[in-house]
Amino acid sequence: DTAVSQTPKYLVTQMGNDKSIKCEQNLGHDTMYWYKQDSKKFLKIMFSYNNKELIINETVPNRFSPKSPDKAHLNLHINSLELGDSAVYFCASSQDSPLAGYNEQFFGPGTRLTVL
């Protein structure tokens, strides 16, 4: 069984379009995350939700809007896509909130977004 799944795996789109990436975890975890991995392979946190509440909101353009309908799902919607948004986006989950301390994170397979 897949622990953290993301769809789609690949997303190719034109500048200016709006797109969404979906994430689901079946681990029963309370916290979910969105990361962006750029071409230099750095992983950067974008958002984190704990029990559907936003707890980490890094400085990302407000074109990016996360939505957590329940604690097993965290979707990422991106408006007016730009060339610089091209990257691999990873969803992850952890048992507890990072505010609680140690937290092993479980990652999805990633979504490779290419903006043309």
Partner 1 sequence: SQKIEQNSEALNIQEGKTATLTCNYTNYSPAYLQWYRQDPGRGPVFLLLIRENEKEKRKERLKVTFDTTLKQSLFHITASQPADSATYLCALMDSNYQLIWGAGTKLIIKP
Residues that bind partner 1 (CB under 8 A): 4, 40-45, 48, 56, 58, 90, 92, 97-99, 101-102, 104-110
Instruction: Decide: helix, strand or coil at residue 26.
Output: coil
Of 99, 34, 26, the closest CA to residue 66 belongs to 34
Residue with tokens 């092993």: 104
Minimum CB distance to partner 1 smaller for 15 or for 27: 27
Could you tell me if 54 and 66 are in contact, meaning their C-beta atoms sit under 8 angstroms apart?
A: yes
Minimum CB distance to partner 1 smaller for 18 or for 42: 42
Minimum CB distance to partner 1 smaller for 17 or for 44: 44
* Rounded least distance, CB 79 to partner 1, Å: 24
